[in-house]
Amino acid sequence: MTNSNHNHVMIKSSVLLLLLSFLVAAASSGNFNQDFQITWGDGRATVLDGGRLLTLSLDKSSGSGFRSVNQYLFAKIDMQLKLVPGNSAGTVTTYYLSSEGPTHDEIDFEFLGNLSGDPYILHTNIYAQGKGNREQQFYLWFDPTKDFHTYSILWNPQTIIFSVDGTPIREFKNMESRGIPFPKSQAMRLYGSLWDAEDWATRGGLVKTDWTKAPFTASFRNFNAQACVSSASSSSSSCNSGGSSDQSWLKQSLDSTGQARIKWVQKNYMIYNYCTDTKRFPQGLPPECSL
């Protein structure tokens, strides 16, 4: 091999290695010690059971939170949560993907606390390029404080699907061809938190947090990610590098059974849909609502 050819191959190899270092497809079954950083709470977040369980607590002084070490550019993520039991009014437990900056993207699960005996409200939202206002809210068909349940986010170039115990509850399709922004170019970290939002969380802020019930505790376990892991913010919208054996999630969408399940959930358990809130959007509903 001539020197020039050898140099050319070396340069190509270096470029390839550099690209792979930025975007590596990976499937990881989580360990909270390795995969997450506790970011706030001054000791109120605790990793237990050899990294398999993470608990967050909230008292009058502070809540607590964590974030993933990795950033993801498209992912299928599962997490099991057990929410604050009893009178959890005013508290919010969150589990969401978010990028940083004023034009950030975000995919939200938020669980709004309640008075004992009332159902939790599952609040979902999607931000694209810094703009949200896409809330849908649901009651759950079980008590989310009695045991762990699986909450999943599928985010690929075609769609975002929220699921609960494998049942899809919401889909937001990529409608960029119609001029509607879709999160696809900003890498996002996974976050979790437990905090006090008594000014709005329970009945619009009418029911305040009862601090005699503190500390409040929520638990997270069985994190699992099939994802394209970005080691630096990447502008690439392609997620096919890295050679993970199963990347079917990257092209996954709802089949007819999934569509039927979403209709069942939305008919029986949806309590708020921004796409029907004409008072909030007097100039007309957001364009995706008509699609």
4 falls within a domain: no
**Alpha carbon distance 45, 25 (integer Å):** 29
2 falls within a domain: no
pLDDT of residue 29: 65
Picking from 52, 37, 20, the residue whose alpha carbon sits closest to that of residue 228 is 20
For the chain, the farthest-separated pair of C-alpha atoms sits apart, in whole angstroms, at 78
Q: Is 110 a catalytic residue?
A: yes
Pick left, alpha or beta for residue 213 (phi over 0 → left; psi -120 to 50 → alpha; otherwise beta).
alpha
5 falls within a domain: no
pLDDT of residue 245: 59
Which residue among the candidates 106, 171, 176, 198 is catalytic per the annotation? 106
92 falls within a domain: yes
pLDDT of residue 14: 41
pLDDT of residue 234: 46
* Full-model pTM: 0.87
14 falls within a domain: no
Q: Is 198 a catalytic residue?
A: no
The β-bridge relationship of strands 216-230 and 36-40 is unpaired
pLDDT by position in tens, the chain (length 291): 545 444 444 443 443 333 333 444 455 567 999 999 999 999 999 999 999 999 999 999 999 999 999 999 999 999 999 999 999 999 999 999 999 999 999 999 999 999 988 999 999 999 999 999 999 999 999 999 999 999 999 999 999 999 999 999 999 999 999 999 999 999 999 999 999 999 988 888 888 999 999 999 999 999 999 999 886 544 443 444 344 557 899 999 999 999 999 999 999 999 999 999 999 999 999 999 998
How does DSSP classify residue 276? G
158 close to 171: Cβ distance less than 8 angstroms: no
8 falls within a domain: no
CATH of the domain at 118: 2.60.120.200
Counting the structural domains of the chain, the total is 1
17 falls within a domain: no
CA 84 to the chain's CA centroid = 19
7 falls within a domain: no
Question: Domain range spanning residue 207?
Answer: 23-290
For 265, phi and psi rounded to 5 degrees? -65, -45
**Alpha carbon distance 88, 71 (integer Å):** 31
Strand partners for 184: none
For 59, phi and psi rounded to 5 degrees? -130, -175
Q: Is the CA virtual torsion 256, 258, 262, 265 positive or negative?
A: positive
